[in-house]
Structures are given as C-alpha cells and as structure tokens.
Amino acid sequence: MKSTKLALLLFLFVSMGAFAQQEEPTKPEATEFYEPVPPVVTPGKNGSAPSDAIVLFDGSNLDAWESTRGEGGAAPWTINKDGSMTVANRTGDIRTKQSFGDVQLHIEWSSPKKVMGSNQSRANSGVFLQERYEVQVLDNNDNPTYVNGQVGSIYKQAIPLAMASVPTGEWNSYDIIYHAPKFDALGRVTKKGTITVLHNGVLIQDHHKILGTTEYIGWPKNIRHGKAPIRLQDHGDNSRVSYRNIWVREL
C-alpha cells in the first residue's frame, strides 16, 4: 500500500513537471509558424536548372570544366550540336573548376547507340563527388557485371536498389543529393557522408552512408578533405558517354 502511494505521488510529480514545461496547445494558431520564410526558387522546365542553381553545362561551352591531366587547362571533351558533350576517349577525366561541399546535382547522360565492348568496358563513365566517390555510369542493358559496379552503384561499395536505365542511346538522368563527410582535426570521420540517387526518377541509392573513397583495388579509404570538384570519368575503353544539362545547387 505504501509503495503504491509513493508511486502515485511520483507519477503526479513527474507529470505535473512535464505539463509545466510544455503545455498542450488548445488553439490551432499555437502550432503555426511564420518564420523562417523559405527562399523562393523558380523551378526549371523539363529538368533544366532552377533559378538558384549553378549551371555547369548547358551545351554552349566547357568553361566550368578543366582537364585533370598535367597542369589542367581546357577540358578536352567534345561539344556536340545537340547541346551535349562527349567523352573524348583517353584524354582523361574532366572536373569542375569550382569546388563543392554538400550539393544537389542534376546530370543527364547517354551511352552511344552503337554498342561496343562488354561488362565494365561498355560505355563506362562516372560522376565522382568531391573527386572521390563515384556514382557509376555504365551501359548495363543486356550487359551483366558485378552488381556493386553496375549502373547506379556507388562503385564497389553500394549496390543500387534498382536498375532503372532507359534503352541504350536514350537519355538518362541522375538526381543526386550529396552530403560530404565531416572530419576532425586528426582526420577521423566524425560524420559519414551520404549519397542519395534518383535514376530517371527512381530511387536507387537511399541515403547511402559513404564508407570511404572509391577504389578499384582495395578497401575504401578515409582521408580528410574539404570542398572539392565534381569529376566526370574517361574510363578509356569504349567509353564515349555523352552528358548534358548539368547543374548543381549548393546545400
């Protein structure tokens, strides 16, 4: 009996305290807020850049890009009349001149209509976030390969949730939400980076926690870095992938 009374007293004490801290609102206005007011962003039409985006490629020039070879210099890939650009095989990767942290990235790509090569040697390219973490680009249509290296994989670390490619030669889109990893002064990861990818509107990477850098051989590595460019891959063999309509929003 005594313990029951004590428990009751304790319950009353705790619940009264809780109510004192945060009383249940009795009017609808009490849970309606008017600030901070979100900025107005005018959306683009048919995947084109919204008003607050940084346009990285609109078909007119490669001014936002540079070569990754030697001293850098002009990006050596080919601009086409249809507003796209194509990997110039064996000229090396290209990267943005600007460095980025957290971003929303829109990019469209297509494999050449003429099918050449197989497995990882068929229209292999890739979008490297901060030059380190690759979202794989590959013509996977009737072209099986290891699943953690297939189209839409985070290369060798995350199998995509679906294979959502359009037919070879048609345009795919990637919409990528990227949060960069955070490091402490000693270079240890204090917060893992994350990658979310929609492939033609289909969720294929769902907030994947980055394990480390993309490595062809060996395990992912974690080495402290700050903002860094977005890099597009020239895989070197049968990799004449085309890109168009590339824009980014800094988050």
Q: Which residues form the interface with Mg ion (CB under 5 A)?
A: 124, 126, 233
Under the phi-then-psi rule, with left for phi > 0, alpha for psi from -120 to 50, and beta for the rest, what region is 201?
A: left
- Using the minimum distance from each CB to Mg ion, give the nearer residue, 53 or 122: 122
* Helices and strands of the chain, counted as H and E runs: 1, 15
**Rounded to the nearest whole angstrom, what is the least distance from the CB of residue 114 to Mg ion in the complex?**
19
- Using the minimum distance from each CB to Mg ion, give the nearer residue, 122 or 179: 122
**Rounded to the nearest whole angstrom, what is the least distance from the CB of residue 122 to Mg ion in the complex?**
11
Long-range contacts of range 223-227, CB-CB < 8 Å, 24 or more positions apart? 223/187, 224/183, 224/187, 225/130, 225/132, 225/183, 226/99, 226/101, 227/99, 227/100, 227/101, 227/130, 227/180
Closest CB to Mg ion: residue number: 126
C-alpha 228: how far from chain center: 14
**Rounded to the nearest whole angstrom, what is the least distance from the CB of residue 212 to Mg ion in the complex?**
17
Round to whole Å and give the CA distance between 101 and 182. 10
- Using the minimum distance from each CB to Mg ion, give the nearer residue, 96 or 124: 124
**Rounded to the nearest whole angstrom, what is the least distance from the CB of residue 29 to Mg ion in the complex?**
54
- Using the minimum distance from each CB to Mg ion, give the nearer residue, 66 or 139: 139
